[in-house]
Structure 1
Amino acid sequence: MPLQKAERQRPRTREINGQVSADDEGAHRSVPGEEGLMSFEEEWGELKRAAAERQSHMRLNQLPAAGGGAVGTANLSVNQDNLGAIGNAAYALHGRLIKDGNHARTTTEEAATAMSSSSFRTGAAMTTVQKTWNSQLRTLLDACAHISNHLDYSVAQHAKDEEDVKTSLAVSAITGYFK
C-alpha cells in the first residue's frame, strides 16, 4: 500500500513532440526553446495580484465627500423660450425637408427609367440611390417630427407640473394656518 500512495503523489509525465512535460497541477509547462516559464498557479496568482492592485487604484467619477453634492440647492430649471425655439426650428426643418427633399425625385426617377430602358447600368444605380435617399429622408423627417412633438410636450408638461407645485405649496401654506 505505501508504494501505491507514493506513486500517486509523483507527477505524471507525458511526451509531446519529443518533449517531456509534467501533468500535475504545480508543474512547469515547457515549450521547446523557452526557458523559465511560470506554472499556471504562479501566473494566475500574479494576474490576481495585478488586478487587485489596479482595483485599489480605481477611482469612481463622483463628487468629493466633503462639501460635495447639491442636496439643498438642487433646482430644475426649464427655459420654455429655448425649448420652444428648438421645437419651432425642428418643425420648420421638417416643413422644408418635405418640400426641398423631394424636388429632384421626379426627374431622378424619370432619368433612371430612361437609362434602364436603354440598357445603361447607371439607371439601376440611380434607382438604388433614389430609394436610399427616400429612406434617409423619411428617417430625418421622423426625427424632426419627434423632436418637435417631444419639445412641445415637454413645455406643456413642465407648465402643468409648475402649476401643480404652486397649487400644492399654496394649499400647504393655508393648511398651516388651520393647525
Structure 2
Amino acid sequence: MSFEQEWGELKAAAAMRLNQAGGAGGSGPKGSADFVVKDDELGGIGHAAFGLFNKLEPTGKHAKTASETASKGLTGDGFTTGAAFTEVIGTWEKQVKSLLQACAHISNHLDYTKKARKSDDEWLETQLRIVGPVAPGADGAVPASQLNKYFR
C-alpha cells in the first residue's frame, strides 16, 4: 500500500470519527449536536490554571537551595554526580518555567475566549433585531438558542 493510500484511509477514518462526535447523527448540518460552552465552565478551567500557576511557582522552587548546596558539596568532594545534579536542577527549572507559561497561556486564552464569545453573542443579537419581534411587545432580539428555527 502506498503512503498516499494509507494517508487517505487514515484521513477518512478520522473524518468519520469527527462526524460522529456528539451523537449518532453526527454534528454536521443535518445532525442535532451543537458545540456548547458555558461561561462558568470556561471560568472554572481558567481559574484552575491560574491557581496551578500561583501554587507551582513557589512549590516548584522549594528544593532549589538545598539541591544547589548538595550539588556544590558533591562537586567539592570530588564526586562527578555533583555536576550531574546541577544539570538536573537546570532541567527541572526549565520544566517548571514551561509549565508556568502553559498555565498562564491557558488562563489568559480562556479569559480572552470568554470575552470574545460574549462580544460575538452581543453582535449577533444586535444583527438579529432586524428579524422582527419574537413575541408581542418584544424588542425583536432573537436568542442564539433560537437561531436554528430560521435555517430549517
Establish whether TM, by shorter chain, passes 0.5.
yes
What does the per-residue CA deviation read over 1:82-119, in whole Å, with 9 as the maximum and x for residues that have no partner?
Answer: 11100000000011110100000111111111221121
Q: 2:29 aligns with which of 68, 71, 87?
A: 71
Residues in 2 aligned to 1:84 and 1:104: alpha-carbon distance in whole angstroms: 32
TM-score normalised by L of structure 1: 0.58
Gaps of 5+ in 2: 134-139, 141-152
Q: Which has the higher contact order (CA 8 A, sep 6+)?
A: 2
| Residue number in structure 1 paired with 2:97 | 138
Structure 2 counterpart of 1:80:
39
Residue of structure 1 equivalent to 2:137: none
Structure possessing the higher radius of gyration over alpha carbons: 1
- 1:116 — aligned with what? 75
> Structure 1 or 2: larger strand share?
1
Q: What is the Cα deviation at residue 126 of structure 1? A: 1.0
Q: Which structure features the higher share of helix residues? A: 2
Runs of 5+ consecutive residues of structure 1 not aligned to the other structure: 1-49
Q: Find the aligned partners of 1:93 and 1:68 in 2 and give their Cα distance.
A: 36
Alpha-carbon RMSD across the aligned residues, in angstroms, is 3.0
State the 4+ residue runs in structure 1 displaced beyond 6 angstroms. Answer: none
* Equivalences, count: 120
Q: Percent identity?
A: 39
Counterpart residue number, 2:150: none
